[in-house]
Structure 1
């Protein structure tokens, strides 16, 4: 049989019953598992843990080059494509000391020879059925059996690949370098950005004297003595969303409509010589993708918090709906896709933070719908409408969320079992800013 190697992950000597994940598919390894073949072009995330339970998980982001499109913007340097010819072979090794998968770096002659030996044996491993075909959406049993799928399953697979592409299409080297820092480089010069469940941003770290030690640069050390990654997220301060020096009405309105804060963030990450804000907006979208997927796959708490901060900033904007229509459309499209895949995590994505089934998100969406209706009355936000309608329909069907609470009767008569009628009134809603929570504008006197 003629073997034509495709982009492949080789994982020799992986202990059986190890928890392994590739993108949004997870499974438990067997003694016959030596890697994954037929990797499609684009970004991928390989991660592992000692068990499926809530143990420390670690993983790495890496990019598979599309040979038919070498100009793809996400590949910016020579190291991203490697130095060799032919199909890309990514070799990972099991570190018995840390019980994690790490890149085979080739730092020594022994490691370089080891990498060459694994590649030379690729055909034999392939023919022996020890390489499982990449699947983007399949049960763990399907991955382990490496089964041939029928036409209906192929359609599901294609849908899964489109989903993964939509969940990662704004990731780039620039985004990963900013958030994670310098990558680890393997024996072929290909970068991998390594992170764990415990990686965190400084703002999400509790400094408890006597319980945790920190390095001078703020990066922590995990339980096995490894240096932890400190995330460098976009700076979002939701308690101060107005410009320096703003007072009175301007300050109050900027607290209610966070469009100025969003615009300022976009400006900070747009090159000074550019009038096109797409680069700054892409950084935000890329971070939305990174934080969601890292929270989903590694159960990373800090990424979940940053994902929430980003959404709160964006969904509580009003003027930006008209000023940044394309960006808002892209955010809603991404959010719908994320919600559709958030149950890929056992127990559900929102269970990570015990946030009552995502009630925080419902409140922000209610505000966004109200803001959209206000700007749409003056002819703005037209390209946002289709994506908002799709999102509304989906959350209504899946979560039973009504994003138009003003259509709900808040006060009326309720008939009891004995026939008596009593007047009932729904409590004011802090999320919807009604009743005592309604915002007010206060003019300060000349003495302030």
Structure 2
């Protein structure tokens, strides 16, 4: 593991040497992909861990690498490092994963007493990503992480799947209706589900997107404005800020943990938050935090990832058009949020060349309109 370039003043360096946490990772095979937050390296013979970790939540991740240099799917965990904490983990050569065995306190004490000699084998925390990491995780709390992480504590980019019995209804119900070709073909496929305790525990969306007893007209209105669905989800949190924390958590599990499951949840939350006209003035602070969080996300993600393969459109652009129009036209939205949205639009146009000039106009193909350098479309 080569030392990353640190861009920090001497005072901060001294403070991190004293207050920063230390993560000792023993017996890691050379060549293993190892990283913390948004940086990763291939370990060398002398690798023993990371030092000078700023106190707070951090994402430690790794991938086993075979003799041909092929990396296994990424695995990781999120840990709230305390001031001057000394965390010790070991590699399990049998499972080619982090060991679940508890480290004896006596061994921890021995390693800590030998820290001066260990120091040369520890890579410094990559301080150049710290500012970005804090922006990406600003609303994620320790309580929220404990609620959302898999029961095993490990976040896997490739879920462990096990077979399960198919529930096709009673024999009588099968006889009452003819089954489609698709159903018959699906019946031939193995039914798989994530191994218990390995999947991320995201907040579920309500099965019904409208109140019980709603009229057809009301159902249509709730399909246009998803405020009912949003408020049903918000009831599951202590505060609206936690929903933004879950949005951030889903994004870092995708960005750092390579979890497609997390990416799909992030997309669903973005779509929901952009389609709630009545909610915007009511949850003004949450929407302000949403714009801040989303801007930090879009800086880190390639534009190709924003295209919905089925609908062949840029789902973030399409959803932001709806949100920006709501903020622009809604009389109850205050000037500060309107101004923040306007500046966000400008930065998106500068970064992606997306055009938000005519929000009230329906986009035929819902693809981003690109602004050319000469101002034409």
Contiguous gaps of at least 5 residues in structure 2:
1-13, 168-185, 369-377
> CA distance change for structure 1 residues 269 and 233 in 2, over 3 Å: closer, same or farther?
same
Q: Does 2:328 correspond to 1:392?
A: no
Q: Does 2:230 correspond to 1:251?
A: no
Corresponding residue to 2:333 among 368, 377, 380: 380
Give, in whole Å, the separation in 2 of the partners of 1:291 and 1:120.
38
Corresponding residue to 1:194 among 138, 146, 154: 154
Superposition deviation, residue 35 in structure 1? 1.1
Superposed, 1:205-224 pairs within 5 Å as: 219-220=194-195
Q: Does 2:68 correspond to 1:115?
A: no
Corresponding residue to 2:139 among 149, 152, 170: 170
Corresponding residue to 1:261 among 213, 229, 235: 229
Corresponding residue to 1:401 among 343, 354, 364: 354
Look up the SS of the partner of 2:46 in the other structure.
coil
Verify the 8 A CA contact 1:33 1:130 in the aligned structure 2.
yes
Verify the 8 A CA contact 1:199 1:228 in the aligned structure 2.
no
Look up the SS of the partner of 1:401 in the other structure.
coil
The corresponding residue for 2:64 is 50
The corresponding residue for 2:246 is 287
Verify the 8 A CA contact 1:167 1:334 in the aligned structure 2.
yes
Verify the 8 A CA contact 1:350 1:358 in the aligned structure 2.
no
Superposition deviation, residue 405 in structure 1? 4.1
Look up the SS of the partner of 2:89 in the other structure.
strand
Look up the SS of the partner of 1:11 in the other structure.
strand
Look up the SS of the partner of 1:244 in the other structure.
coil
The corresponding residue for 1:105 is 102
How many positions carry a matched residue from both structures?
329
Give, in whole Å, the separation in 2 of the partners of 1:331 and 1:403.
18
Give, in whole Å, the separation in 2 of the partners of 1:285 and 1:22.
22
Superposed, 1:288-303 pairs within 5 Å as: 288-303=247-262
Superposition deviation, residue 325 in structure 1? 0.7
Give, in whole Å, the separation in 2 of the partners of 1:293 and 1:349.
18
What are the superposed Cα offsets for residues 162-195 of structure 1, whole Å, 9 maximum, x if unpaired?
Answer: 3212222222232223222556xxxxxxxxx322
Give, in whole Å, the separation in 2 of the partners of 1:261 and 1:400.
32
Larger mean Cα displacement after TM superposition, 16-25 or 356-365: 356-365
The corresponding residue for 1:34 is 48
Verify the 8 A CA contact 1:201 1:302 in the aligned structure 2.
no
What are the superposed Cα offsets for residues 104-145 of structure 1, whole Å, 9 maximum, x if unpaired?
Answer: 623xxxx4433333223221111xx21111114xxxxxxxxx
TM-score by length of 1: 0.65
The corresponding residue for 2:177 is none
The corresponding residue for 1:440 is none
Superposed, 1:29-178 pairs within 5 Å as: 29-51=43-65, 55-66=72-83, 87-102=84-99, 105-106=102-103, 111-126=104-119, 129-136=120-127, 157=128, 160-178=129-147
What are the superposed Cα offsets for residues 391-410 of structure 1, whole Å, 9 maximum, x if unpaired?
Answer: 212221222211234588x9
Contiguous gaps of at least 5 residues in structure 1:
67-86, 137-156, 184-192, 221-226, 271-278, 411-426, 433-448
> CA distance change for structure 1 residues 121 and 178 in 2, over 3 Å: closer, same or farther?
same
Larger mean Cα displacement after TM superposition, 391-400 or 47-56: 47-56
Verify the 8 A CA contact 1:321 1:328 in the aligned structure 2.
yes
Superposition deviation, residue 40 in structure 1? 0.4
Give, in whole Å, the separation in 1 of the partners of 2:255 and 2:160.
15
TM-score by length of 2: 0.76
